[in-house]
């Protein structure tokens, strides 16, 4: 009778143990099958009241079962503790360890500034146009009033990529400025034209703290009837105010570029010293940020736009200059050295 009861109890206990999935359930199981009020304990306590023969058999079996249940309990406990360790072949993986954080990417500083510049000019009604980095001599120089052997070509140290042996002509190059996009746009469209052309430009130059062989420009071009120097000044003043704040001063001075007449150089008062002169501005108090001017009549004529009817202005902004000044970065080479310690600051 009691023996039957014991066997039933043993199989029930092991069946229930199989369903246990956490330590709380395991404790409940222990109380139920091994606790002071459990059937097993009660049977063991009441052994004395059994007839001698039965007492021996029941006692032996009950103790056996108790031992088995206790062993199973320990085993289950260990199993649950190790449960957080998942086995993957030979490697065991502790899923409770903290994970490795993902590095979030971001836009390159230059891209951020390009977007800012294009955002400001886009807001004024300029549309984005593009041209190739690998450019013909014709667009980079010839059509911009710099025929072969024109001394102004020396302003642009050029990376040539093609060379025609017989004629000695070097027709292909990496564009030295974004101005060739002016020609490409005017060839294909008629005034009114209002475009900006952001992009990379290249110069055959040894790199140092202030020179890179590749950098970015944003070209601007507006062609229409009655466009005057006042429009150019108004546009660039407003641009400078949007970019650098309304208190920055802006300076226009004469400059020479073969494709504009008159040509100007635009500078803003130095951030660092406020105009008194420092290392950043080369003691002048001013920092040049762009070249500009009224589109040369010969340039318009070449693309069949009548300079007696139409006029235009153009400008070319040095993009890296802007963050260089804004953040006081003292070496332009940092921009393209792919050093995350630098890049992730912006
Ligand atoms: N393309 C000139 C440069 O790279 C800048 C410029 C653009 C000047 C448009 C005048 C008009 O130096």
User: Between 141 and 268, whose confidence is greater?
Assistant: 141
With the most atoms of ligand 1 within 8 angstroms of its CB, the residue from 265, 291, 294, 299 to mutate is 291
Gyration radius of the chain over CA positions: 41
Query: In terms of residue numbers, what domain contains 18?
Result: 2-89
d(CA 3, CA 296): 114
Q: Can you tell me the distance from the alpha carbon of 168 to that of 56, in angstroms, rounded to the nearest whole number?
A: 117
Domain annotation covers residue 96: no
Same domain, 77 and 146: no
Nearest by Cα to 215 from 141, 330, 319, 343 = 319
Residues 326, 180 share a domain: yes
Q: How far is the CA of 220 from the centre of ligand 1 (A)?
A: 9
Using the predicted structure, report yes or no on whether residue 330 has a pLDDT greater than 70: yes
pTM for the full predicted model? 0.71
Choosing from 178, 214, 257, 293 the residue with most ligand 1 atoms within 8 A of its CB, the one to mutate for a pocket test is 257
Which two three-digit tokens encode residue 312? 């235009």
Task: Please report the pLDDT score of residue 217 as a whole number.
Answer: 97
Alpha helices in the chain (DSSP H): 2-19, 23-34, 39-45, 52-82, 109-123, 137-140, 180-188, 229-244, 297-302, 321-326, 340-343
Instruction: Report which ligand 1 atom has the smallest distance to the Cα of 221.
Output: 9
**Residue 49 sits in the same domain as residue 122:** no
For atom 12 of ligand 1, the residue with the nearest CA is 291
**pLDDT tens sequence across 178-197:** 999 999 999 999 999 999 99
Q: For the chain, how many structural domains are there in total?
A: 2
Categorise residue 252: left if φ over 0, alpha if ψ from -120 to 50, beta otherwise. Answer: beta
For residue 276, what are the contacts with CB-CB under 8 A and spacing of at least 6?
285
- What pLDDT, on the 0 to 100 scale, is given for residue 237? 92
What Cα–Cα distance (Å) separates residue 135 from each residue in 146, 152, 175? 15, 18, 5
Which amino acid residue places its CA nearest to atom 9 of ligand 1? 315
Query: Closest residue (by CA) to atom 4 of ligand 1?
Result: 177
104 in a domain, yes or no?
Answer: no
Report CA(277)–ligand 1 centroid distance (Å). Answer: 26
Q: What CA–CA distance (Å, rounded) separates 139 from 132?
A: 10
Q: What percent of the chain shows pLDDT beyond 70?
A: 95
The Cα 202–Cα 13 span in angstroms is 81
pLDDT tens profile 80-123: 877 656 555 666 777 888 888 888 889 999 999 999 999 999 99
Whether 190 maps to a domain, the answer reads yes
Across the range 278-307, mean pLDDT stands at 91
List of residues 6+ apart from 337 with CB closer than 8 A = none
Is residue 222 packed enough to be buried (19+ CB in 10 Å), middle (13-18) or exposed (0-12)? buried
Would the pLDDT of 275 be above 90?
A: no
291 CA distance to ligand 1 centroid (A)? 5
| Residues 114, 52 share a domain | no
Query: Does 336 fall in a domain?
Result: yes
Q: Could you tell me if 74 and 187 lie in one domain?
A: no
β-partners of residue 222 are 194, 313
pLDDT tens sequence across 13-25: 889 888 888 888 8
Residue 263 CA to ligand 1 center (angstroms) comes to 9
pLDDT greater than 60 at residue 238: yes
Show the ligand 1 pocket: residues with CB < 6 angstroms: 177, 179, 257, 260, 263, 291-293, 314-316
pLDDT (average), residues 214-227? 97
CATH number at 174 reads 3.30.930.10
* Omega of the bond leading into 192 within 30 degrees of 0 (cis): yes
174 and 212 in one domain? yes
CA of 255 to the centre of ligand 1 (A): 10
Same domain as 138, residue 31: no
- Closest ligand 1 atom, residue 318 Cα: 4
């Amino acid at each position: 009778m009691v023996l039957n009861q014991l066997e039933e109890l043993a199989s029930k206990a092991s069946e229930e143990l199989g369903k246990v999935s956490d330590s709380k359930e395991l404790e409940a199981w222990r109380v139920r099958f091994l606790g002071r009020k459990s059937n097993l304990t009660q049977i063991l306590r009441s052994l004395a009241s059994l007839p001698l023969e039965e007492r021996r058999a029941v006692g032996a079996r009950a103790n056996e079962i108790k031992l088995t249940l206790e062993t199973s309990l320990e085993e289950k406990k260990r199993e649950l503790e190790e449960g957080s360790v998942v086995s993957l072949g030979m490697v065991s993986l502790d899923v409770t360890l903290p994970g490795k954080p993902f590095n979030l990417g971001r836009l390159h500083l230059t891209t951020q500034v390009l977007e800012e510049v294009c955002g400001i000019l886009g807001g004024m009604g300029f549309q984005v146009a593009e041209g190739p980095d690998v450019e013909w001599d014709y667009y980079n120089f010839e059509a911009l009033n710099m025929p072969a052997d024109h001394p102004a070509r020396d302003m642009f140290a050029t990376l040539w990529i093609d060379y025609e042996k017989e004629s000695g002509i070097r027709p292909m190059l990496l564009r030295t400025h974004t101005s060739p996009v002016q020609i490409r746009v005017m060839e294909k469209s008629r005034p009114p034209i209002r475009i900006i052309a952001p992009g990379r430009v290249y110069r055959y130059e040894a790199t140092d703290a202030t020179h890179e062989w590749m950098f970015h420009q944003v070209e601007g071009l507006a062609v229409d009837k009655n466009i005057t120097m006042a429009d150019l000044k108004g546009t660039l003043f407003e641009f400078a105010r949007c970019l650098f704040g309304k208190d920055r001063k802006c300076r226009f001075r004469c400059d020479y570029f073969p494709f504009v007449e008159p040509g100007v150089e635009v500078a803003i008062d130095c951030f660092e010293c406020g105009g008194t002169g420092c290392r950043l501005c080369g003691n002048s108090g001013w920092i040049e940020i762009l070249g500009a001017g009224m589109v040369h009549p010969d340039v318009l004529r070449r693309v069949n736009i009548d300079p007696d009817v139409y006029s235009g202005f153009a400008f070319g902004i040095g993009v890296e200059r802007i963050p260089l000044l804004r953040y006081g970065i003292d070496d332009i080479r940092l921009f393209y050295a792919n050093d995350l310690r630098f890049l992730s600051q912006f």
